[in-house]
Amino acid sequence: RKEVEQDPGPFNVPEGATVAFNCTYSNSASQSFFWYRQDCRKEPKLLMSVYSSGNEDGRFTAQLNRASQYISLLIRDSKLSDSATYLCVVGRGWSNAGNMLTFGGGTRLMVKP
């Protein structure tokens, strides 16, 4: 079983739709969680950290469920510019150091006009 698993998609949604991705992780000792965004043939960029109580940044909401060991990303009112691959990233400690992170394979989102 992979340490961090994501549905690769693609998720094809119309503009304005709400879409949600889940990501499961296997290490129950994981302490830090992130979503990165990667545009086609570009580098990953941090989208948002995921906090225990859940957090929101504009149209994006991230949730953590420790009991079931998954995190989720909800995107409301999808824009064409949201089309990208979303990487779930889990840290083995309270650190964002690259050597402590495990990246999921990514979920591809395509927003259509």
Partner 1 sequence: NAGVTQTPKFQVLKTGQSMTLQCAQDMNHNSMYWYRQDPGMGLRLIYYSASEGTTDKGEVPDGYNVSRLKKQNFLLGLESAAPSQTSVYFCASSYGTGVRSPLHFGNGTRLTVT
Q: Which residues contact partner 1 (rule: CB under 8 A)?
A: 2, 4, 8, 32, 34, 41-46, 49, 87, 94-106
CA distance 3 to 110: 25
Q: Which is nearer to partner 1, 51 or 77 (CB)?
A: 51
Q: Which is nearer to partner 1, 22 or 49 (CB)?
A: 49
CB of 24 to partner 1, least distance (A): 13
CA distance 96 to 59: 24
CB of 113 to partner 1, least distance (A): 27
CB of 14 to partner 1, least distance (A): 26
92: closest CA among 22, 7, 2, 3? 3
95 neighbors 86 (Cβ within 8 angstroms): no
Burial of residue 52, with CB atoms counted within 10 A of its CB: 0-12 exposed, 13-18 middle, 19 or more buried: exposed
CA distance 27 to 90: 9
Q: Which is nearer to partner 1, 37 or 75 (CB)?
A: 37
CB of 22 to partner 1, least distance (A): 16
Q: Which is nearer to partner 1, 17 or 100 (CB)?
A: 100
